[in-house]
Structure 1
Amino acid sequence: MSVGVVLLAAGSSSRLGRPKQLLVHGGKTLVRRAAEAAVGAQCGPVVVVLGAQAQAVASELAGLPVHTVHNAAWEQGMGVSLRVGVRALDPAAEAALVMLCDQLRVESGHLRALVEAFGRTGSPIVASGYESARGVPALFSRAIFPELEALAPDEGARGVIARDSSRVVEVALAGGGEDVDTTADLSRLT
């Protein structure tokens, strides 16, 4: 089974005032932590979508077996980055595992659990379940790629997940809804 990873790391983090990808947690930048988790999930290839501060973010990925792609229209929103990432995957990929770099509770083991649930159930979407919601990291079968590519520029994958619950399998992720939008979030989640 071929599952590619799309790590979204293109935003400017306007609420934070600086790129959250470069914030340090546990001695590593958030983008490096997320990329290491993706590589540790033992699927791939791992595609990292860059945009704001692309050169600085790319330098944090040095030595990791990841492929970076640049989203020149990153300012338009996450939907554009998803489209760029999905299109950069190997055409043989059966699914895309979409993740963000600011979810500190996401580890390789959780990503592997998503892939295992996909292999076991064949469900077109396997989403993380947290705080009575479903979201990313989430795995989308190739059949769902057209929906991801059709997202409006300012939309994320959550709408695709919510569209039809009958096609979603959920894998619990305790605290998964906690992400980093402010420096206070980073301190609180430490």
Structure 2
Amino acid sequence: MEKAKTGIIILAAGESSRLGYPKQIAQYKGKTLLQYAIDAALEAKVEKQILVLGANKDEIKKTFRGDSIPNIPNQDWEKGMASSMQKGLDYLLKFDAPDQVIIMLCDMPYVDSKLLKKLIASQKKTGKGIVACEYSETVGVPILFTKAYFKELKALSGDEGAKKVALAHEDDCALVKFPMGKVDVDTEEDLRDLNL
């Protein structure tokens, strides 16, 4: 059987209102949070990656090599996460359409390429249409969807995220344990805790 083509969408369009400045450029151990996400996506060695920017995009773009990963703006970022996810998906589908996509965020510093590869391996092994990370008694991102779910992802609106689709199809969802998934950065305090 042919290897499934995978695309990765990094969502980095939010305003970081609780932090007070773009969390994408917040520093952790000498790197920006966004750079951790970009490195993980690139090191996963999948067919395509796309970074979706929105608020403060010009400021954020100065912090990483523009040619390291394709990036697109989401003018509608204020409408919520669903619009950024759909922008990324539309971009990937326009070219060499992937068989599956992984959706990830830019504020989870413990996400690495090993975890992303684990999602892909789990999909191959289980044949499930969705592979989600499991942490804090819930499921969440990074999360993989096969193309059977692209239509549903495109139907989301506002701040509805990928988790909604995963919870609606628990019978077709494999889980990968990722306890550190509970760590994300929304406030200055989160960043301080991370840097301890």
* Length-normalised TM-score, structure 2: 0.93
Deviation at 1:17, TM superposition (A): 1.5
The residue aligned with 2:23 is 20
For 2:38, the equivalent position in structure 1 comes to 35
Give how far 1:118 is off. Answer: 1.2
CA apart distance, 1:59:
2.6
> Given residue 31 of structure 1, which amino acid in structure 2 is its aligned partner?
L
Tell me which residue corresponds to 2:99: 94
Q: Work out the percentage of aligned pairs sharing the same amino acid.
A: 39
Equivalent residue number for residue 109 of structure 2:
104
Q: Deviations over 1:88-126 (max 9, x none)?
A: 114420011000010122111001100111122221100
Q: 1:60 aligned to 2:63?
A: yes
**Equivalent residue for 1:82?**
85
- Alpha-carbon deviation of 1:63? 5.8
Letter in 1 for 2:157: A
Residue 176 of structure 1: SS of its match in structure 2? helix
Structure 1 residue matching 2:182: 3-state secondary structure: coil
**Do the aligned partners of 1:131 and 1:175 also contact (CA within 8 Å) in 2?**
no
The Cα RMSD (Å) is 1.3
Give distance in 1, aligned partners of 2:32 and 2:14.
Answer: 15
Segments of 5+ residues of structure 2 without an aligned counterpart are none
Q: Between Structure 1 and Structure 2, how many residues are aligned?
A: 190
Code of the aligned partner of 2:122: A
Paired AA for residue 157 in structure 1: A
Cα deviation, 1:105-153, whole Å, max 9, x if unaligned, reads 2111001100111122221100001111100000011110111111112
Output the CA distance in 2 between the equivalents of 1:11 and 1:19: 8
Normalized against structure 1, the TM-score is what? Answer: 0.95
Q: Which amino acid aligns with 2:53?
A: L
Gaps of 5+ in 1: none
> Which runs of structure 2 are paired with 1:40-189 in the superposition (5 Å)?
40-62=43-65, 65-89=68-92, 90-189=95-194
* Whole-angstrom CA distance in 2 between matches of 1:60 and 1:116: 32
Deviation, 1:25, is 0.7
